[in-house]
């Protein structure tokens, strides 16, 4: 079934409205049923009293005949006693009279012509037993004759001299319920009109009452929906004259006060956290070029020979490398001081091959190999940020190779593919566990014993800002390959 029609999806207003209509319908139906049952009960009571009165009148008339008869009052003489009188009694009381002996055999019958259908000449044994067991010497049963329902009254014909029964009298009585049926029909017609009016009034009252009850709840619901931690929330100023809803409004207003206080605390905490995070990133970005710079200076100090004919060129390259790293740290510091992105993007048209080759000069490891598919791959990117990407990936590759490993290899490969510059940094280090694949670019995640785990997260953000992408493949014990894809400029 469609959940649209399930009760749990109904609004409170609809539930209240339907509940009131349902109560009206149920109460009206119950009133109608009780009224009909009451009419039927009154009808039964009326017919029973009428039968009893008629029975008493006939028995008084019969007893008078028995008192004035010259025949002895025995069962065998009943036919003679009532031979002429039974028709007179039946005509006077407009009812058929049957007289039986004590065994249920028919003795005499008035044969009233108005009663249709043949009346059985024998009384059943079951009726005789009920009559014997009756305290009032009277028993009434229901029967049918040619489709009509009759009440048959059985009672003993008593010899009051001897105080013993000498026969059984049966009086048939046909119930005429036409009066009560007309009364019920008239009642139902009137009740139907009243009921229709009640339904209309109930619908009107239910609609406005449900609307009145839910109006304040809708106000609260709307305010709850609009409640936000990041903006000013208004309190509800509403008096409903309902203790429960007023308490709900008071609770909401109290919640707004607490929410505003929590929002202020959260904002302060977020600002402090942002500064702490920025400080960590700045520290990481400044620390990133310091180590290779230190190693470069130490190596230059040990290997520099003033008498070497190429000493001026080497000194110039050394100075250029240091200045480039210093510029990077200066850009980071400037970005931090301005509380802007680190560092601001300065798109330059440059040769990726030359920049990467120059970036690798700060590393003294002789196992770093650089290969370029083409001597020139032009793209638009911030030089400083490209240097940061290469420096970070190569530094991570160096740290991924254990010091005790004999054969160490790091390859930096540059190529073109589908209008993209492809940069690969491949190492044969210890690799990355599969459980860490989904978290490798998360801030503060690191598998190293030192560092803050911000490097890969930062360079991923840089690359994506230039509509590029960074992916990796790794296998434990065999090494890792990071692949950077950046859009290039067609020549």
Predicted confidence (pLDDT) per residue in 394-429, tens digit: 998 998 899 888 899 999 999 998 889 999 999 999
Q: What is the pLDDT of residue 354?
A: 92
CATH 3.40.50.720 fits 10-181, yes or no: no
Least trusted range by pLDDT, from 137-141, 242-246, 372-376, 427-431: 242-246
Q: Which residue has the higher pLDDT, 267 or 395?
A: 395
Topology at the third CATH level for domain 345-487: Heat Shock Protein 90 (3.30.565)
Q: How many CB atoms lie within 10 A of CB 26?
A: 10
Q: Kindly state the average pLDDT of the residues 229-244.
A: 66
- Kindly state the percentage of the chain with pLDDT values over 90: 11
Phi, psi of 486 (to 5 degrees): -125, 140
Integer angstrom CA distances of residue 121 from 111, 118, 338: 12, 9, 124
Q: Which residue has the higher pLDDT, 115 or 198?
A: 198
Q: What is the pLDDT of residue 340?
A: 42
Q: What is the pLDDT of residue 11?
A: 66
Least trusted range by pLDDT, from 111-115, 191-195, 393-397: 111-115
On whether the CB atoms of residues 408 and 369 are closer than 8 A, the answer is no
- Tell me the Ramachandran region of residue 94: left when phi exceeds 0, alpha when psi lies from -120 to 50, beta otherwise: left
Q: How many CB atoms lie within 10 A of CB 62?
A: 20
On whether the CB atoms of residues 170 and 139 are closer than 8 A, the answer is no
**Identical fold at 10-181 and 345-487?**
no
Question: Above 90 in pLDDT, residue 482?
Answer: yes
Beta partners for 108? 99
Q: What is the pLDDT of residue 279?
A: 67
Q: Which residue has the higher pLDDT, 308 or 343?
A: 308
- Highest mean pLDDT: which of 7-16, 40-49, 82-91, 463-472? 463-472
Q: Where are the domains of the chain?
A: 10-181, 227-338, 345-487
Q: What is the pLDDT of residue 115?
A: 45
Tell me the pLDDT of the chain averaged across its residues: 77
Q: How confident is the model at residue 1 (pLDDT cuts 50, 70, 90)?
A: very low
Question: Above 70 in pLDDT, residue 267?
Answer: no
Q: Kindly state the average pLDDT of the residues 256-274.
A: 71
Place of tokens 């609307």: 211
Q: What is the pLDDT of residue 278?
A: 64
Rg over alpha carbons for the chain, rounded to the nearest Å, is: 56
Q: Kindly state the average pLDDT of the residues 468-481.
A: 91
Q: What is the pLDDT of residue 176?
A: 64
Q: Please state the pTM of the whole predicted model.
A: 0.38
Q: What is the pLDDT of residue 408?
A: 92
Distance CA 78, CA 155 (A): 15
């Amino acid at each position: 079934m469609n959940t649209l029609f399930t009760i749990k999806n109904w609004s409170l207003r609809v539930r209240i409205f339907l509940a009131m209509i349902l109560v009206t319908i149920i109460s009206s139906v119950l009133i109608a049923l009780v009224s009909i049952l009451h009419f039927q009960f009154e009808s039964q009571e009326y017919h029973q009293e009428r039968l009893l009165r008629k029975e008493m009148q006939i028995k008084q008339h019969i007893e008078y005949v028995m008192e004035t008869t010259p025949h002895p009052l025995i069962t065998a003489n009943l036919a003679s006693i009532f031979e002429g009188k039974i028709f007179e009694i039946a005509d006077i009381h407009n009812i058929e009279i049957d007289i039986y002996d004590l065994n249920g055999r028919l003795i005499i019958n008035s044969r009233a012509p108005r009663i249709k259908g043949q009346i059985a000449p024998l009384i059943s044994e079951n009726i005789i037993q009920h009559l014997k067991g009756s305290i009032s010497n009277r028993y009434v049963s229901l029967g049918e004759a040619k489709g009509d329902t009759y009440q048959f009254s059985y009672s003993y014909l008593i010899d009051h001299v001897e105080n013993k029964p000498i026969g059984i009298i049966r009086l048939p009585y046909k119930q005429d319920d036409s009066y009560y049926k007309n009364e019920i029909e008239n009642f139902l017609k009137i009740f139907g009109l009243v009921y229709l009016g009640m339904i209309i009034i109930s619908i009107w009252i239910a609609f406005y009452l449900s609307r009145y009850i839910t109006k304040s709840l809708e106000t609260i619901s709307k305010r709850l929906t609009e409640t936000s931690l990041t903006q000013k929330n208004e309190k509800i100023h509403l008096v409903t004259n309902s203790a429960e809803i007023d308490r709900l409004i008071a609770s909401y207003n109290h919640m707004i006060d607490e929410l505003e206080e929590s929002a202020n605390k959260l904002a302060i905490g977020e600002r402090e956290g942002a500064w702490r995070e920025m400080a960590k990133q700045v520290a990481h970005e400044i620390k990133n070029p310091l180590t290779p710079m230190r190693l470069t200076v130490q190596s230059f100090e040990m290997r520099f020979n003033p008498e070497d004919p190429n000493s001026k060129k080497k000194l110039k390259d050394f100075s250029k490398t240091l200045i480039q790293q210093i510029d990077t740290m200066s850009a980071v510091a400037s970005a931090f001081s301005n509380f802007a992105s680190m560092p601001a993007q300065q798109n330059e048209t440059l040769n990726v091959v030359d920049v990467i080759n120059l970036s690798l000069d700060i590393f003294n490891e002789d196992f770093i190999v650089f290969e370029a598919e083409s001597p020139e791959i032009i793209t638009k990117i911030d030089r400083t940020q490209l240097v940061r990407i290469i420096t970070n990936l190569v530094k991570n590759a160096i740290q991924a190779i254990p010091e005790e490993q004999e054969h160490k290899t790091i390859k930096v490969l540059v190529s073109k593919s589908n209008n993209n510059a492809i940069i690969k940094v491949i190492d044969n280090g210890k690799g990355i566990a599969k459980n860490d694949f989904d978290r490798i670019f998360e801030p503060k995640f690191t598998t190293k014993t030192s560092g803050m785990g911000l490097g890969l997260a930062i360079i991923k953000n840089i690359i994506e800002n230039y509509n590029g992408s960074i992916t990796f493949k790794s296998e434990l014990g065999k090494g890792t390959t990071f692949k950077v894809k950046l859009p290039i400029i067609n020549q």
